[in-house]
Structure 1
Amino acid sequence: MDAYDVLRHTAESEEPAVLATVIGVEGHAYRKSGAMMLLLVNGGKVGSISPGCLESDLSERVPIVLESGEPEIVHYNMKPEEDIVWGETVGCGGKLRILLEPVAGELRMTLREAYRHMEAGEAVRLVRRGAEPALCYALEAAGGNAAIGASSAGGDATESFYAVRLEPRPRLVMFGAGQDLDPIFAAAGRIGFRLAVADWRAGLLSADRFPGAELVSGTAAEIAAKLRLSSADYVIVCGHQLRKDREMLEMLLPIKPAYVGVMGSSSRIRL
């Protein structure tokens, strides 16, 4: 969820910050290539790229990067033989290459656009081209199985390009807006799902009751079409009306969502 939290903070705040992205890893490391964290001027952080080994050093670099207005790459050797240097034995390891970028101008606009795509449930690739300190940014559709990686075999990843695949949060679709849905909705939001609530009774669907959720009413077929249900979705059927629940389940069967749950007794579910 770190990438989403980073993007959301960037979209909602004008606060100066530095984006730290792991762009290279050798050996064991706490986070893999593509992990990102936002370093704030007040010492705050959004996300993480280590279990605490690097954050203090990275935070000290924030004013330098912001003053220069240019990205830089820093290298860390966290292998066990170097542990005496860092004084840490908390799960750090490996060699890491970290790209530090001031969040401003083109990068800020690109991150905000990426956030809009993720909120719409669309995966994108954040692409950096050029070589630091002169980087260009772009978003590309993340079709196929595009993975985090760099184009060049040697040197800094930014010499040619570095692309990070940004995945939207998984979506939980809840069919049936009875009162017993409220605690499920709240818990799912805390866990980090994107939320959608559907019901054949439009009067039960309100933004005040379900803040931030997609709200859709209609028949099972209309709901599936409006939400563009797919195999990536998680679905809970809790309409508590046998015919309506069955219609929704029949609509879901050919879609094969990642998860389908039905609220009710086992005997009722078999019906």
Structure 2
Amino acid sequence: MNGDIPAAGDDGGLRAILRALRTPRAAPAVLAVVVATEGSTYRKPGALILLPQQGVRIGWLSGGCLEAELEHAAARVAADGRAHHLRLDTRSDDDLVFGSSSGCRGVVELMLLPLDESAPLLAALRSLERAQALALDLGTDGSGVADDGTQRWEWRATAPATDRRWSLRLIAPKRLLLLGAGPESRPLLRLAHLLGWSVEAVETRARWFDALAAADALHANVEALALPRTRFDAAVVMSHHYSRDRDFLNYCADSAIPWVGLLGPIARRDALLAELDAPARERLLPRLHAPVGLRLGGEGPEAIALSIAAALQRDVT
């Protein structure tokens, strides 16, 4: 049972770019990679911006002040198929008056790389949906090497060579596992996707399938999970069903998932923990956050989802 792919506007961070790269591209695009920064900058090395030749830019370089120059340079790269090294310096007083007017006082360097369906870089980026990280080595001539730990990709220069190269490490989107569903599931999924998380869910009750439709994958049981349990960064037990939550807690106790949240009041938490055997409790307690969520105020499913998303963002990213 796989959930529908959500609309592009529901995704943030690297997740949004990886989602856009899933579908074969009819027209070439340009990938901008932040390779170095100095001073005050909106994005840091490793940040990606995708600029389709047809379509809307995905990702941000600044608060909007540098995007016009970036898009102009990307149009040239798309037209001639040659990589381009772009250096944007906003430190001078002249820039404040005549340039971007950002006032950020920083330098950001980018490599703009042509990206079509045959590009090894595209295949490397797609591997991040299953890998944990991607090592990336780039030169100002556009040549590069990518390695996800199991596979290696190389591509040739498309611009004049210099002696400058950068080594970057792209970290895959964080992976969240929802164990069970309830009224909080839909808003939590939306918030997690906006924050760039990948989300899988386990649920068998048909009444909750619609609330979980945007999940990256929906499973009937924990044995059907697509990823090993060690590959999730966090899990939230939230079925609103006592025996299901007890079984989910046992699953988490046997896993290496580093952050486990449990929805519900303290008394229910204590009752559930009392039903686990002593070794399971000992394995689980150092990782357990229960009741899950930050105290932000408000009530209802949306407020609870926000409190959980805030805790995940604070503790796990």
1:6 and 2:6 matched = no
Distance 1:236 1:84, change over 3 A: closer
Contact 1:51 1:92 survives alignment (8 Å): no
CA separation of 1:202 and 1:87: change in aligned 2, threshold 3 A = same
Shift of 1:55: 1.5
Shift of 1:229: 1.9
What does residue range 12-51 of structure 1 map to in structure 2 within 5 Å? 12=23, 13-41=25-53, 44-51=56-63
Decide whether aligned partners of structure 1 residues 70 and 122 sit closer, same or farther in structure 2, where only a CA change above 3 A counts: same
Counterpart in the other structure of 1:119: 129
Unpaired runs of 5+ residues, structure 2, are: 1-11, 151-159, 272-317
Give the TM-score normalised by the residue count of structure 1: 0.74
**Aligned counterparts, 1:2-151, within 5 A:** 2-12=13-23, 13-41=25-53, 44-84=56-96, 86-104=98-116, 106-107=118-119, 109-115=120-126, 117-120=127-130, 122-128=132-138, 132=141, 135-141=142-148
Q: Does 2:237 align with 1:265? A: no
Residue in 2 aligned with 1:159?
163
SS of structure 2 residue aligned to 1:230: helix
Q: Which letter maps to 1:237?
A: V
Identify the residue that residue 152 of structure 1 maps to in structure 2. none
Letter in 2 for 1:6: I
For structure 1, the residue ranges without an aligned partner over 5 or more in a row are 144-155
Supply the distance in 2 between the matched residues of 1:231 and 1:85 (Cα, whole angstroms).
Answer: 49
TM-score, normalised with respect to structure 2: 0.65
Q: 1:35 to 1:184 in 2, by over 3 A?
A: closer
AA aligned opposite 1:139? A
Q: Give secondary structure in 1 for the equivalent of 2:229.
A: coil
Q: Which segments of structure 1 move beyond 6 Å, counting only runs of 4 or more?
A: 202-205
Identity among equivalent positions (%) equals 26
Provide the residue aligned with 1:210 in structure 2. 213
Q: Does the CA-based 8 Å contact 1:7-1:112 persist in structure 2? A: no
CA pair 49-94 structure 1, distance change in 2 beyond 3 A: same
For 1:236 and 1:166, how far apart are their aligned partners in 2? 26
Instruction: Tell me how far apart the structure 1 counterparts of residues 108 and 193 of structure 2 sit (CA, whole Å).
Output: 33
Using the TM superposition, give the Cα deviation of residue 105 of structure 1 relative to its aligned residue in structure 2, in angstroms: 5.8
Determine the structure 2 residue equivalent to 1:146: none
Instruction: Give the match's secondary structure for 2:230.
Output: coil
How far, CA to CA, are the matches of 2:21 and 2:162 in structure 1?
22
* Cα RMSD after superposing both structures: 3.5
Amino acid at match of 1:214: A
Q: 1:15 to 1:250 in 2, by over 3 A?
A: same
Query: Are the equivalent residues in 2 in contact too, given 1:17–1:40 (CA < 8 A)?
Result: yes
Q: CA deviation at 1:20?
A: 1.9
Q: Rate the CA distance shift 1:34–1:158 in 2: closer, same or farther, 3 A.
A: farther
Q: 1:19/1:257 Cα in 2 relative to 1: closer, same or farther (>3 Å)?
A: same
Matched residue type, 2:265: S
Could you tell me whether the CA contact under 8 Å between 1:7 and 1:111 is conserved in 2? no
- Matched ranges for 1:225-236 at <5 A: 227-230=227-230, 232-236=232-236
